[in-house]
Amino acid sequence: MTLRKISKEQPGNFEFTQENFEEAKKIIKKYPEGKQQSAVMSLLYLAQNQNDNWIPLSAMKYIGKLLGMPYIKVYEVATFYTMYNLSPVGKYFFQICTTTPCMIRGAYDLVNVCKKNISENQNELSKDKSCSWVEVECLGACINAPMIQINEDYYEDLDVEKTEKIIEQIKNNEKPKPGSYRGRKNSEPENNRKTLLNIKNA
């Protein structure tokens, strides 16, 4: 579950950067005349990305005005879907899957690494405020378990050592490489496939 609590500390004002404003206009244009409010989810996501991974109330009001819809309707959408964070999270936001396939492959070892190297509790910023972590339900990469989503990217086939390395790289302002950490391409079998050998590109 991502952070559903509305932050007590709210910035007074929000507006899209020029670049995001242009992007918002493009998104709105995708919808037929009179149905522009359907762009609300995409615009909330854009606002979240612009605002270091969380959505302040001022962004909901701004989006409501942009789409000509009541603020309360934007608020309802933002508070319903768990992909929207309503309080500050780290600039690097670790979502650790702890559903069964990841759990039996060591997800709680990764949770312990995050407890040690980021913050003792989930939804709490690290001392340098750069990172936070949270446990989430299945992220659809079970075949590469255990895995963590960090912002937009999936980091898969992890273990304690590799997760520590990823955190260290992030803290050194380096970008760790997303994907499998056991050298697999996507979800291909390790040590070559054993079945469907007569089918090319299977």
Considering the complex, what minimum distance in angstroms separates the CB of residue 102 from ligand FES? 3
**Distance between CA atoms of residues 166 and 175, nearest Å:** 8
Among 47, 78, 139, 170, binds ligand FES (CB under 6 A): 139
Nearer to ligand FES, 66 or 110 (CB): 110
Phi and psi dihedrals of 112, rounded to 5? -65, -35
Nearer to ligand FES, 41 or 142 (CB): 142
Nearer to ligand FES, 95 or 126 (CB): 95
Decide if residue 141 touches ligand FES (CB under 6 A). Answer: yes
Decide if residue 3 touches ligand FES (CB under 6 A). Answer: no
Nearer to ligand FES, 16 or 135 (CB): 135
Among 145, 148, 150, 166, binds ligand FES (CB under 6 A): 145
Stretch that binds ligand FES, among 67-75, 124-132, 135-143, 192-200 (CB under 6 A): 135-143
Nearer to ligand FES, 129 or 182 (CB): 182
Please name which of 137, 148, 27, 130 lies closest in space to residue 94, comparing C-alpha atoms. Answer: 148
Decide if residue 55 touches ligand FES (CB under 6 A). Answer: no
Decide if residue 147 touches ligand FES (CB under 6 A). Answer: yes
Among 57, 75, 142, 178, binds ligand FES (CB under 6 A): 142
Among 49, 79, 101, 159, binds ligand FES (CB under 6 A): 101
Q: Which residue has the tokens 């964070």?
A: 85
Interacting positions 60-99 with ligand FES (CB under 6 A): 97, 99
What are the angstrom distances between the C-alpha of 15 and each of 48, 58, 62, 63, 116?
12, 8, 7, 9, 36
Among 6, 69, 125, 138, binds ligand FES (CB under 6 A): 138
Please give the residue ranges that form the binding site for ligand FES (CB under 6 A).
97, 99, 101-102, 138-142, 145, 147
